[in-house]
Every structure is written in C-alpha cells, then in structure tokens.
Structure 1
Amino acid sequence: MAEDFDYQSMLAGELYLASDISAHHQSTKGKMLQQKINQTPFDQPETIVALEAELFGQFGKHGFVQPPLYVDYGRHVEIGEHFYANMDCLFLDVNRIIIGDHVMVGPRVSFYTAGHPIDAAIRSQELEFGLPIIVKDHVWIGGNSTILPGITIGARSIVAAGSVVTKDVPEDCIVGGNPARVIRKINDKDHHDWQEAAQQYREKKSRALGAAHSIIKE
C-alpha cells in the first residue's frame, strides 16, 4: 500500500521520509512502553521483564535490560536467550537489531541503525536510511560503546569499553578503539586460563560451603 511505502523502505535499508510513515506504523507504542519500563520500581523485576517482552519484537528466556533503556520502535529488536544489558542502553531501531544468545552488554551502549545521506542537499530534504545490526552468540560489548549501522559482530567476540564499531567484527577476537580495530584473537591460552580460574572458584566455594555446614552442625 502507498501509505506503507516509507515504512517498508525504512526496513529495506532504502531512503525514506520519517514524516511520511503512516500513524499505524509510528513508534509511539514503543515510546510509551519505554516510559512504563523506566518508571517501574527496581524491586519489580517481573513487571519489567513482562514489559520488555511486550516492547521488543523477540525477547528470549532469561533476558533482562536494566532500566533506564531507550528505543525508537522497540519492535524491530530481536533478542535471544540469556541476554543482559546494563543501564542507559539505546536501541535506535529504524531497522532490525538482531542479538543472539548469551550476549552481555555494558552500560550506555548504543546500537545505531539510522543513517543520513553524505550529500548535504539530500540530507536537508530529511531523507534518511537504516541498516540492520547483527550481534552473534556469546558476544560481550563493553560500556559506552557505539555500534554503527550495518555492523555484524561475530560469535564469541569482545568489544572493549568505549569503542566505536564502524566495520564488521570477526568471530573470536577482541576489538577496541575509535574506530574499533582488532586487538588480538581469543586463543587456546585464554580458554585454558579462564577454565582453570573457574575451577578454582568452584573448589574454593565448595570448601567454604562445607566449612559453613560443619559449623552449623556443631
């Protein structure tokens, strides 16, 4: 339908006029849900999760976005299972933001799908565009990072705090900086060292719990 032309163009990554998007497709509902979430007391996490499940287009099990949060539409964001985002995150979802399972996001991270023409004359006509962002499984994005339109972040990679990601991130690597560049690959030594640290944690906790249980029995 002609009245859906600009909305469909927006989702297709083509130029569109936001002012010509029909009322049916406007972002008002997402903004209202955002407001409800941000005004919900912190001691009501079940209510927050229920509202977030209504806000996002997909919201997997065991997900939580720490308020306050900010969206454009909200419904163009698809989030997998076991997701956590800290406070003040922004999802500027004029196009789709697709996030995998077991993804961790630090505070004040921004996902920008929106873009504007380089040519000033075209930009002054208020034409804009949006490109999707894809975050694969087991990614960790450090606080105050910015993910720009059209970016894919590969599985198991880490984005250092304060990064501006302007290019796709390969899987299994650490990137950082402005613009973000590959710092190094995640290697076998990393896996070995962290598995060893986790094992030491489990053993120490087991001993501590055993000692506490022994004291209680006495």
Structure 2
Amino acid sequence: MTDRRGRARTDVRRAPQKQVRDRAALDALLDCALVAHLAVVETSAEGAVQPYVVPVGMARDGDRLLVHGSTASRAFRALAAGAPTCATVTILDGVVVARSQFESSMNYRSAMVLGRCTELVGEDKERALAVLSEHLLPGLTEQRTPTRKESAATSVLALPLEEWSLKVSAKGGPEDDPADLDRQTWAGIVPLHHTWGEPVDAPDLAAPYPVPAQIADWPQGRT
C-alpha cells in the first residue's frame, strides 16, 4: 500500500539508511524472537477511539506470523474479525555510549508487519499450536497436548508476512560531535546478550525430577 504521495507504508522515513529489505533478515529476526506486540483500535458506542497494544507469544511459520491468546480477549476477537493491525518485534543488541547524551543510542533490530489476521481453525489451528509450542518450548514434546476445552479457549491468529518493514541499527561506535572528541570520558558500545537463567523447580513437584536435558539445549542468545 502507498500513501497519497505514492510512498509505501513500510518505507522507513527516519534514518532510511537503516532499512533492510532482505526477507531472509526478517525471517532471522522473527525466528529468534519470542514476543510480538499487536496493535488494535477499539471504538466505543459513543465514538471514542482507544488504541491498545498487546504483547503475545509468537512464532514464524513460513510466510505468516502466528500468535495466540484467549478467545475471551477483546483484542483477539477484534483481530479475528478482521480488524487491521500492526505487529512489531524488536530485539535490543546493545547500548551505544557516546560522549554526549544526544549522540548516545541503541543497537537494535526492529520489524513491523501490517495487515489483517486470519483466525485458524481445525487441523490448521492444531498444527499452528504445535509450531508455537516448539518455538517457545523447543524440544519439550513430552508435554501434554491441549484438551478440547483448552483448545476452545485459545485463539490462534495468522498474520501474513506480505507488508513489512525491517530497520537495523548496528553502529560500529558512537558518532560524537568533533568538539566532544577531546573530552576525558569513556565512549563505546555495551553489548546486550540474552541468555537463559538457572531453571527453578515448581514448588508443587511430586518428586525431585531432573530438569529435562532439552532445556539445557535451549540456544543461548537466541534473541
């Protein structure tokens, strides 16, 4: 889609040099992220407009983004009915510390997907739930699958990866004003690494079961 000036809605206008149009780069970001934020706009009977942004567990399934939530959620009901949405996924890779507050910034990868969701049903829904489970809880195939009641209480939506934008900031260092270069202060990059912590037993375990080996294999720094 384009605006009245003929520009694509997904064109990056602020710092356009950071836009990445490679679909493989988008897939790589989505495949290592665990959470997306979905926007939905509600209009009351009185005409008041209220936007909401909902964090949801997510997984990429080929050319679509899968999300799941409660069928009782107003936001999910609106999205299932075809309300337009914008999904965002952002991963922070580090903080760039400059000699001035103005030039300090962040290294990040951020995607935005525009479109309308489709609510999945039947075998497609069951398969999508399996994809979500494997992405969010990799290797834990011994978990009990959802009952019919649990499945009925869960809404699974698919957002096509057709209209999207990817912005990447990966500075080699701070871009200080030349007048600040002689300041006697440190400047550089502080990387941010995402890792798993030590698993903590549930207090109601019937016995001291060992932590599944699969959890130890969860990829460090996946995000």
User: What's the TM-score bracket when you normalise by the shorter of the two chains?
Assistant: under 0.3
Q: Which has the higher strand share?
A: 2
For CA contacts below 8 A with separation 6 or more, give which structure has more relative contact order.
2
Q: TM-score, normalised by structure 2?
A: 0.23
